[in-house]
């Protein structure tokens, strides 16, 4: 049973208990308000903090003491992803790319190159719209299938890993993931915020300040600042004695169906 349902059942039990106490002793309405506010706060936190695993089991870090995984979301993007690939090749590092379906369909050769150079491809929805999580479970399942199909067409492998846009989940996303097949939901333990942090030094500090074995680091293909620090970041990781591996190796999970 998901934490979402455990919280909802606990809410109903507490509500009944509160009502019985109210009938017996007469309670202030404030107690009901506190209970409802707590429920709304838990649902909100559960929706936006993927690592709480509120709606669906999620892998956010590995057990390894000496390896990390780096992930790039929202590609492939010509002019950006290829520059990332060149840096990764220079450092002999394999990464994991959570791809947007329509971008794979537009850049099939770049997606193919990702695969051929030993990187992992995961599903990151077809359109990556801000309203993705407001769709029905069926529509979400179809969007995930469309992304799988675009990746199969370009690369010949069907992803098992799915990362929700913005890390937002809710009952519809959970339903879409379950209907769509046996996806492993992948989160992160180090969020770079490279889409908003433009300062190179600040970004480097953010992603290195507490980096340790088992971490999954989130970057984006389209971030110029990530491109700027990537080489220094990989040198730093190496100096810490950490190895960069793909998410499937870090989590000991199958990447493809
Ligand atoms: Zn994204």
Q: Which of 73, 148, 194, 248 is catalytic?
A: 73
3-class DSSP state for residue 256?
strand
Q: Note if 102 is an active site residue.
A: no
- As a whole number, mean pLDDT of residues 40-51 equals 93
User: 18: CA distance to ligand 1 center in Å?
Assistant: 42
Q: What is the pLDDT of residues 85-110, one digit of tens each?
A: 999 999 999 999 999 999 999 999 99
Q: What is the pLDDT of residues 51-72, one digit of tens each?
A: 999 999 999 999 999 999 999 9
What is the radius of gyration, based on Cα positions, of the chain?
Answer: 21
User: 165: CA distance to ligand 1 center in Å?
Assistant: 4
Q: Is the pLDDT of residue 76 over 90?
A: yes
CB crowding 30-59: b at 16 or more within 10 Å, else e? eeeeeeeeebeebbeebbeebebbbbbebb
3-class DSSP state for residue 89?
helix
Q: Is the pLDDT of residue 1 over 90?
A: no
Q: Which of 43, 119, 124, 220 is catalytic?
A: 220
Q: Note if 82 is an active site residue.
A: no
- As a whole number, mean pLDDT of residues 208-234 equals 97
CATH superfamily name and code, 58-251 = Glycoside hydrolase/deacetylase (3.20.20.370)
Q: Is the pLDDT of residue 181 over 80?
A: no
User: 166: CA distance to ligand 1 center in Å?
Assistant: 6
């Amino acid at each position: 049973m998901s934490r979402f349902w455990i919280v909802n059942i606990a809410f109903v039990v507490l509500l009944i208990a509160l009502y019985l106490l109210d009938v017996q002793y007469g309670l202030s309405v404030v107690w009901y308000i506190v209970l409802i506010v707590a429920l709304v706060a838990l649902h909100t936190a559960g929706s936006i903090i993927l690592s709480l695993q509120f709606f669906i089991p999620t892998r956010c870090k590995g057990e390894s003491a000496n390896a990390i995984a780096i992930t790039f979301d929202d590609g492939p993007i010509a002019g950006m992803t290829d520059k990332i690939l060149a840096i990764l090749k220079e450092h002999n590092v394999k990464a994991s790319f959570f791809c947007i379906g329509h971008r794979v369909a537009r850049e099939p050769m770049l997606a193919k190159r990702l695969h051929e150079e030993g990187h992992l491809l995961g599903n990151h929805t077809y359109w990556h719209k801000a309203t993705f999580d407001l769709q029905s479970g069926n529509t979400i399942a179809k969007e995930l299938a469309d992304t799988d199909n675009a990746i199969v067409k370009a690369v010949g492998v069907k992803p098992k890993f799915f990362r929700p846009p913005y890390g937002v989940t809710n009952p519809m996303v959970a339903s879409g993931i379950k209907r769509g097949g046996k996806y492993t939901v992948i989160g992160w333990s180090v969020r770079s915020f490279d889409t908003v942090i433009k300062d190179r030094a600040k970004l480097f500090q953010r992603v290195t300040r507490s980096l340790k074995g088992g971490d999954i680091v989130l970057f984006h293909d389209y971030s110029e600042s990530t491109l700027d620090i990537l080489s220094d970041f990989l040198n730093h990781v190496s100096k810490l004695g950490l190895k960069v591996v793909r998410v499937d190796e870090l989590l000991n999970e199958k990447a493809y169906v």
